[in-house]
A and B are shown apart, each in its own frame.
Chain A
Amino acid sequence: MSGGARWSDVLVEAIRCATVSLPPDVVAGLRRALDGETSDLARLQLGTMLDNARVARASGLPLCQDTGTPVFFVRAGVESPWLADLPGALVDAVRAATDSIPLRPSAIDPFTNRNVGNVGRGVPVIDWDLVPGAEIAITYVAKGGGSENASGLLFVVPGEGTAGVLRAVLAHVVRVAPRACPPVIVGVGIGGTADLALRLAKRALIRPLDARHDDPAVAAFEVELLDAVNRSGIGPMGLGGACTALAVHADFAYRHPASLPVGVALQCWADRRGTVRIPASGIAEVVE
């Protein structure tokens, strides 16, 4: 039996769980946000989000009608015997999940506007990170269109340093957050090349809400930016309030002397994600 056939049920189950069930850390984040709000409209909306999470989990209905672009973040152990089977298995899982959950067909040819389902050229998106070892960890994320449209690639003058990065990201987030279903999760990739900065920002989104970066300087940047974003008063759904972002996750790469690219990725409060682990034995399991 190929790896793909063997993992199909597990991968589809991970997609189903992510689609209907808000992760516990995000539920806790929304509850904290609700406790911190004094505005009636902010409280009404956060309460509605939590109600929706309860109804979705109990009924098996998707949290959001936009079931998103399917994205897989793969940390692939280079010694795994299953690497060759993986791309096909991920595509098959998206097809099966689209039929069985069902997911909304959301993959459209940009030239013809034809909606082909959820599998097409470049979709599902698969982000490969080759790591030592023989284990594969796959995190599925449903990326909604509204939050994806709020992505940004900024070029900060290197002399302005991380203070300049913070100012630029803050200005960007305040401008775009109202359309990204706040309270959002903010991913920031600092340095590298343009594409790497955005990739780091995207990968940062899948960290648990309360996990700060290992590097104390980066962790301090995360805390300072989160505080500044929330002082903006944009609030839930952009209608005013104390909580605009649930978390900021940053990461970095070394930069060219002339260049300080900054990638910004946002995820909506309906942060649908799930992780599957495939050890060398090939017996896959959903781990979160």
Chain B
Amino acid sequence: MIRKVELPALAAEVASWRVGDVLSLSGVVLTARDLAHRRILEACPLDAGERGPDLPFDPTGLPIFHCGPLARRDGVRWTITGLGPTTSARMESTTPAIMARYATPFLIGKGGMGPATRAALVERGGAYLAAVGGTGALGARAVAEVVSVAWLEELGMPDAVWILRLSEYGPLIVTMDSQGRDLHEEVVCAAERTLGNASR
């Protein structure tokens, strides 16, 4: 039932993922949340040409994971002791520009995104994968390697950008796909219809 995906995934493969598919991921992803999104856009506005000089990492082609991990440092080595999704909707206003600028193939988070990201996923053949919130212990065990961390001093542990190599991280559920389907929106609309019917 869980399809194992090796990263980087081919664009055609990501575009073929459909709402309801369940995946696990092995490979490199980048974590970013509110402050990191703003900082990435400040350093590299959409019309600034190639990768801007100020970014200490290259987000090009990496999936973005909405996550503020829990990590422990032993000497120079980092161990992730908690990994899971944060609420993605907070990144709605900054996501389409980042996806366009850095060819972001897909997103991982929880709770879904809004209409602008939905349109960007259709346009770019992307997808949004929902992780199960609150399952940080399972997530920690799926981290094979901390590749690097940036902006740790300035932004703090949760808001820093962590580049992580994952090993069979999942289950991840495709909830927004390249065809414009959005399971989050469908469930809320159905719930509101149910409530509307009940109050009549």
A80 vs B112: C-alpha distance in the bound complex, in angstroms? 49
B191 to A65, Cβ gap below 8 A? no
A104 within 8 A of B: yes
Decide: B173 and A55 in contact? CB cutoff 8 A. Answer: no
Task: Please give, as numbers and ranges, the residues of chain B lying within 8 Å of A48 by CB-CB distance.
Answer: 132, 135, 138, 171
Contact call A239/B175, Cβ cutoff below 8 A: yes
Provide the bound-state CA to CA distance between A63 and B111, in Å.
19
Q: Which residues of A contact B155 (CB under 8 A)?
A: 113, 115
**Which residues on the A side are within 8 Å of B86 (C-beta)?**
66, 145-146
Of A144, A146, A232, which is within 8 A of B191 by CB?
A232
Partner of B68, one of A41, A62, A104: A104
Which bracket fits the contact residues of B? 35 or more
Task: Check A237–B130 contact: CB distance below 8 A.
Answer: yes
Would you call B52 an interface residue if the criterion is a C-beta within 8 Å of the partner chain's C-beta atoms?
A: no
The yes or no answer to B139 lying at the interface (CB within 8 A) is yes
Interface residue from A145, A232, A238 paired with B184 (Cβ < 8 Å) = A238
Given the contacts A48-B138, A52-B136, A145-B86, A115 and B156 also touching, CB distance less than 8 Å: yes
B157 contact set on A, CB distance < 8 A: 104-105, 115
- Is residue B141 within 8 Å, beta carbon to beta carbon, of the partner chain? yes
Task: Give a binary string over B1-35; 1 marks a CB under 8 Å from any A CB, 0 the rest.
Answer: 10000000000000000001010000000000001
Q: Quote the shortest CB–CB distance from A185 to chain B (angstroms).
A: 13
- Chain B interface mostly helix, strand, loop or mixed? mixed
Judge if B59 is at the interface, Cβ distance under 8 Å. Answer: no
Cα–Cα, bound, A52→B139 (Å)? 9
Cα-based distance from A234 to B192 in the complex (angstroms): 10
Bound form: Cα–Cα A20–B134 in Å = 11
- Would you give the shortest CB distance from B170 to chain A, in whole angstroms? 9
Residues on the B chain within 8 Å of A270, using CB: 133-134
| Among B41-49, B76-84, B95-103, the stretch in contact with A | B76-84
Docked Cα-Cα span, A85 to B68, in Å, equals 34
Chain B residues closer than 8 Å to A146, beta-carbon distance: 86-87, 110-111, 133
How far apart are the CA atoms of A48 and B22 in the complex, in Å?
A: 13
Residue of B83, B111, B190, B199 with highest tally of chain A CB at under 10 A: B111
Per the bound structure, the CA–CA distance linking A263 and B195 in Å amounts to 21
Residue of B72, B86, B134, B199 ringed by the most chain A CB atoms within 10 A:
B134
B183 engages A239 (CB within 8 Å): yes
Q: Which of B70, B138, B173, B188 contacts A41 (CB 8 A)?
A: B173
Q: Which of A132-140, A167-175, A277-285 contacts B (4 or more CB under 8 A)?
A: A167-175
Are A233's CB and B194's CB within 8 A? yes
- Which residues of chain A are near B195, meaning CB under 8 Å? 170-171, 174, 232
Chain A residue with the shortest CB-CB distance to B160: A115
Q: How many residues of A contact B (CB 8 A)?
A: 52
The verdict on A126 contacting chain B, using a C-beta distance below 8 Å, is: no
Contacts A48-B171, A167-B199 known; A239 to B89 CB distance under 8 Å? no
Cβ contact of A268, chosen from B20, B134, B194, cutoff 8 A: B134
**Across the interface, which residues of B come within 8 angstroms of A115, CB to CB?**
155-159
- Does A49 sit within 8 A of B, measured CB to CB? yes
Whether a CB of chain B sits under 8 angstroms from the CB of A209 is no
**Contact with A238, one of B20, B156, B188 (Cβ below 8 angstroms):** B188
B116 in the interface (beta carbon within 8 A) = no
Closest to A115 in B: B156
A51 beta carbon closer than 8 Å to chain B? yes
Partner of A63, one of B22, B134, B199: B134
Binary per-residue interface labels of chain A (53-75) against chain B in the complex, 1 for a CB within 8 Å, 0 otherwise: 00110010111111100000000
Q: How far is the CB of A71 from chain B (nearest CB, A)?
A: 17
Interface residues of A in 80-134 (CB under 8 A from B): 102-106, 108, 113-115
Contact in complex: B158, A106 (CB < 8 Å) = yes
- 19 A–B contacts from the bound complex (CB under 8 Å): A20-B137, A49-B134, A62-B136, A64-B82, A64-B84, A66-B158, A67-B70, A105-B156, A105-B157, A105-B158, A146-B86, A146-B111, A167-B199, A179-B111, A181-B133, A237-B110, A238-B111, A239-B175, A240-B190
Given contacts A49-B132, A55-B137, A181-B134, 7 further A-B contacts (CB under 8 A): A52-B135, A61-B82, A61-B140, A64-B135, A65-B136, A115-B155, A115-B157
